[in-house]
Amino acid sequence: MNLRGIWAVFRKEFRENLRDRRTLLSALVLGPVFGPVLIAGLVQFSISHAEEQSDENIAVAVTHADRAPNLLAYLSARGVDIEKVNLDEAGTRKAVVAQTHKIILDIPEDFGTRLQEGQPAPVILYSDGSRGFDRRGVGRVRTLVSQYGLEIAQLRFLARGIDPISVLPISVQEIDVSTPTSRSVMVLNMMTYLVILSMMFGGLYLAIDATAGERERGSLEMLLTAPVPRENLIYGKIFAAAAYMAVSLILTVAMFSVAMSFVGLEKMGASANLGPGAASQLIACCAPLLLFGAAYLSIISGFAKSYREAQTYLGLVITLPTMPLMFAGLLGLQAKQSLMYVPFLSQHLLMTTVVRAEPIEPTWVVISVVSTLVYGVTLMRIAGRLYRREGLLG
């Protein structure tokens, strides 16, 4: 293969775009800073929110509090702040809808008598199920009321000479097997998405400038009169875009690593595996995508007549390859061998495995790397074909 001119074009594009503020901004600042700061902020917020929720007392409004003094004493001894209110049923509903009271416990009139007669005594718990943040509070109140009921039941058995243990045939013990690291992955899942997106944006403006931009400026025709095979011209441009994407990728992962070390993940019981070792593995996972992504961007903008047109096209299609990631996130897709043939998705799954600190299947890595490189080379050749066409000049 004749390699003439590739290096010259690569160096020129690399250098020229180093002087272009727009390219630098998108490659070095936008992705690498914006993504990590966003994620770190989100994680920080969810940690502090979770901390608050588990420590705080729950505020519960009670109507007809005088009908169940013992139950209320039991609740307030267990972290429930009771506020006595006087509302009818309609007023209760209104108060919950308007959120003047988030949880309201209504003690019906016959509560005391039914309890004494040994019949099921109802209490009514009002809350608004569409407000996610308060569900845990409602759950705790419900559990506490049931526990109170259970204690009364045990006392009744004792009074009748029955061992209360015998009426509890099954006891459920809950064990959460999610390790601290795998729990943090839920939060960090978005990170792999942002890493890939940021990498793509790193090469975006160079790809546009080197193809649609060069045509619009009128320098393309003279470039084509140079004694260099036409496909080599676009290869050089693709490699230059890939180089900018590589810089963007490395910076983004490094910034994530730094940002996460500042966020107190361990407070959440989560320790994301994002040290220097994991970070370099992440970069290695994504590296085969550089060629694919750069060729993809160059082909799309190669079809555009002008810089602006290319910008419009790419704004639409840059997220296209990341669609499988979104679906994977929504469907909770598990890593498996057949998915390693899907570019972008295989990288996402491998990165997730690294962040989870789980062992990586070597054959999967080989499949992901080789298949992605093959796709990349194919796309590159298609770009070369595109540059051989006369229609290129518009």
Partner 1 sequence: MLEARGLCKSFGKVEAVRGVSFSARDGQITGLLGANGAGKSTTLRMLYTVLKPDQGDALIDGGSVLADPLAARRSIGVLSHGAGVYNHLTARENIVYFGELHGMPRADRQARAAELIELLEMQPFADRLAKGFSQGQKLKTALARALVHRPKNVLLDEPTNGLDVMAVRGLRKLLAQLRDAGHCVLFSSHVMQEVEQLCDEVVVIAAGQVVAAGSLDEIRARGGDRLEDAFVALLEPK
**Based on CB atoms, which residue is closest to partner 1, 223 or 374?**
223
Judged by beta carbon, residue 8 or residue 28, the one nearer partner 1 is: 8
Supply the minimum distance, in Å, between the C-beta of residue 229 and partner 1: 7
Least distance in angstroms from the C-beta of 4 to partner 1: 7
Beta carbon nearer to partner 1, 200 or 228: 228
Q: Which is nearer to partner 1, 223 or 254 (CB)?
A: 223
Q: For residues 11 and 336, which CB has a smaller minimum distance to partner 1 in the complex?
A: 11
Tell the smallest beta-carbon distance from residue 219 to partner 1 (Å): 4
Three-state SS annotation for the chain:
CCCCCHHHHHHHHHHHHHCCHHHHHHHHHHHHHHHHHHHHHHHHHHHHHHHHHHHCCEEEEEECHHHCHHHHHHHHCCCEEEEEECCCHHHHHHHHHCCCCCCEEECCCCHHHHHHCCCCCCCEEECCCCCHHHHHHHHHHHHHHHHHHHHHHHHHHHHCCCCHHHHCCCCCCCCCCCCHHHHHHHHHHHHHHHHHHHHHHHHHHHHHHHHHHHHHHCCHHHHHCCCCCHHHHHHHHHHHHHHHHHHHHHHHHHHHHHHHHHCCHHHHCCCCCCCHHHHHHHHHHHCCHHHHHHHHHHHHHHHCCCHHHHHHHHHHHCCHHHHHHHHHHHHCCCCCHHHHHCCCHHHHHHHHHHHCCCCCCHHHHHHHHHHHHHHHHHHHHHHHHHHHCHHHHC
| Residue 115 or 223 having the CB closest to partner 1 | 223
Contact residues toward partner 1 (CB under 8 A) are 4-5, 8-9, 11-12, 15-17, 19-20, 214, 217-219, 221-229, 390, 393
> Closest CB to partner 1 among 106 and 214?
214
* Nearest approach, Cβ of residue 212 and partner 1 (Å): 13
Q: How far is the CB of 15 from partner 1 (least distance, A)?
A: 8
Minimum CB separation of residue 384 from partner 1 in Å reads 15
In angstroms, give the least distance from the CB of 238 to partner 1: 17
